[in-house]
Structure 1
């Protein structure tokens, strides 16, 4: 495949590369709930007034997350960028595979970086324990569950690590994909001053375009972040929609069930392709799955699917290995089901044909 790697949700680049209009793509390159929260009508005031934080919004956020130690932000991305500038400049231990913006911004700030394995829970835990046993201050970054490897630590383990970090070291836990299983969130435990938690609104509620996220941290750090990020981080429309969505317990319960069933239907549709490819590893979470493959084969499969108007995410791991990450479709979207089924069959046929041509 020629050109730069396509990032999740980048239908503009995909459309230009494959000459397929944006509205004709089936986008499986993100981990966003395909059955989004129904926005409905909003009061005119949310469009007219300056977006100072409304009390009903604050009440809904505190009710959903179970704590009032939060700061609402324009998605978690601004916090990922700002944290290295707000915390003590210490070495950082990160997953060797994960949401790469964490690595990028710590590196840009000049923090020394080290990595733990993101595919093996025991190996990752052992390496973190060894680093803690040295008694030297460092920051620890955990993506829980990890995007894209699916690695998941227990909240008890994470809280234990946070308490044991030396000096001004902090544990940053990115819980962007945890809303499908909220019981494992560290927010269910008392929030330590050494613990910083990032949460994303758009993935579970299927409304990534609102750009809404939250950071949970000490009063001092939240104040630093607020000063650095500035006022009006969250617009009035986002506050209005989130107030309704975070308070709608019935929808949330139904969404968790629907996501599970949608993931099962998507996996069933992709199963013939997985059987043909025989990936080295498979990671499955409610909102996305990842397959580890030979790098050339992974790129070829992404390209073949894209030619059919189905976009999946290619994540290079090394010169020899890569991941294909796929989101989920709605089991009620019959057009998406038919298109994915057809694309999978066409991809398998093309792979078989190319294999025969090389015999």
Structure 2
């Protein structure tokens, strides 16, 4: 069956575009006002308040006790039975680079369109990668990759669908990768972490939800044996002392997470209203970004860039723009003015 699959044959590292590329957008629009309002990423614009750190977090090597404290907080936050099934890494991107090394080259199906680094990382390690549009096609591969909720569409597969898929792949000695980078503000039953099928790795990002993308902290959740293999590939002191301390404090803070969830819901409604008033259709999103569609999307992105506002464009669909959420009220006003300018 074809399943509308597309191959990654011939893909080049420079072909993968990312948000947050302020250096590049500044070069293209040198006359734009500074500083840029960067809405091209799905990062919480109001970060978790930095806790006071002991000087030792910066001056000594991270200890095993520091790491155990973080992993215990992550296990509690993600609904795990204990820390044996979670490891910490310097960002989930680092995990994307090493997970393909767990298996000999085989077939990989990525449910797309989605974050392109998944396909690229498997391709670099010699796997035969294709992007598929239907969930049913995932079970035909040796490895299935799902971003849930998806980036950029916000598509959310039911947990039961993923449990069934993971169990089917495990029966064939396959592997399921579920990237839950944008799941923190969704209801708990949207996550696979508390119903982890065999032969499944769930990835969780810290920086997006807590507003610390520069901290570089992420997690892999899997059976203990898989975790141990990944931990060995990461090597000693993979996560910095400050990241261990900040991550542990933030993940234990239930009150902040609930307040952030409420604020983001209100901000998404506000952003949707601005975009629809500007003639866009809201075709997807998560609590951290919105996907807008417009036949004039490229003209709109150009107009916004000329006014110092950076949004995410997509080469595979030029009618799409992804908008992150503004943080400060001045940024909201700058966006509103730019959207209504002729």
Q: What TM-score does the superposition give when structure 1 sets the normalisation length?
A: 0.84
2:155 aligned partner: 151
Identify the residue that residue 305 of structure 1 maps to in structure 2: 304
Q: Which of 308, 330, 337 pairs up with 1:335?
A: 330
In the comparison of the two structures, how many residue pairs are matched? 321
Written as runs of structure 1 = structure 2, the 5 A alignment for 1:207-286 is: 207-273=212-278, 275=279, 277=280, 279=281, 282-286=283-287
Measure, in 1, the Cα distance between the counterparts of 2:111 and 2:192: 18
Structure 1 residue runs of 5 or longer lacking an equivalent are 118-123, 350-359
* Residue 194 (structure 2) aligns with: 188
| CA–CA separation in structure 1 for the residues paired with 2:95 and 2:264 | 27
CA displacement at 1:269 relative to structure 2: 2.1
Match of residue 175 from structure 2: 170
Q: In the alignment, which residue of structure 1 is the partner of 2:99?
A: 83
**Higher alpha-carbon deviation: 86-95 or 31-40:** 86-95
Match of 1:66 among 79, 85, 109: 79
User: Equivalent residue for 1:100?
Assistant: 116
2:142 maps to which residue? 138
Q: CA contact under 8 A between 2:44 and 2:211: conserved in structure 1?
A: yes
Cα deviation, 1:170-210, whole Å, max 9, x if unaligned, reads: 11000000001141100121x33311100000111111111
Report SS of the residue matched to 2:18.
Answer: coil
Select which of 43, 56, 64 maps to 2:54.
43
Cα distance in 2 for residues equivalent to 1:195 and 1:5 = 26
Q: Which moved more, 1:104-113 or 1:244-253?
A: 104-113
1:301 Cα offset (Å): 2.1
Deviation at 1:271, TM superposition (A): 2.1
Q: Whole-Å Cα distance in 2 between the matches of residues 293 and 90 of structure 1?
A: 39
- Distance in 2 between residues matched to 1:231 and 1:106, nearest whole Å: 24
Correspondence for 1:326 among 323, 328, 332: 323
Inter-partner Cα distance in structure 2 for 1:150 and 1:168: 29
Aligned partners of 1:33, 1:235: CA distance in 2, in Å? 21
Name the CA distance, whole Å, in 1 between partners of 2:75 and 2:89: 15
- Give the distance between the partners of 1:138 and 1:345, measured in 2 at CA: 49
Superimposed CA distance per residue, residues 250-276 of structure 1 (whole angstroms, 9 cap, x where no aligned partner): 111111111111111122222222x2x
Matching residue of 2:70: 57
- Asked if the contact 2:143–2:175 (Cα under 8 Å) also holds between the matched residues in 1, the reply is yes
- Structure 2 residue runs without a partner (length 5+): 1-14
Q: Which residue of 2 is the match for residue 160 of structure 1? A: 164
Q: Distance in 1 between matches of 2:33 and 2:71?
A: 36
CA shift for structure 1 position 221 = 2.1
Q: Distance in 1 between matches of 2:192 and 2:45?
A: 26
Change (3 A) 1:204 1:322: same
Distance 1:5 1:172, change over 3 A: closer
Q: Quick check: 1:162–1:170 contact (8 Å CA) kept in 2?
A: yes
RMSD, aligned α-carbons: 2.1
Distance 2:176 2:17 in 1: 31
TM-score (norm 2): 0.88
Quick one: distance in 2 between partners of 1:193 and 1:328? Answer: 36
1:293 Cα shift? Answer: 4.4
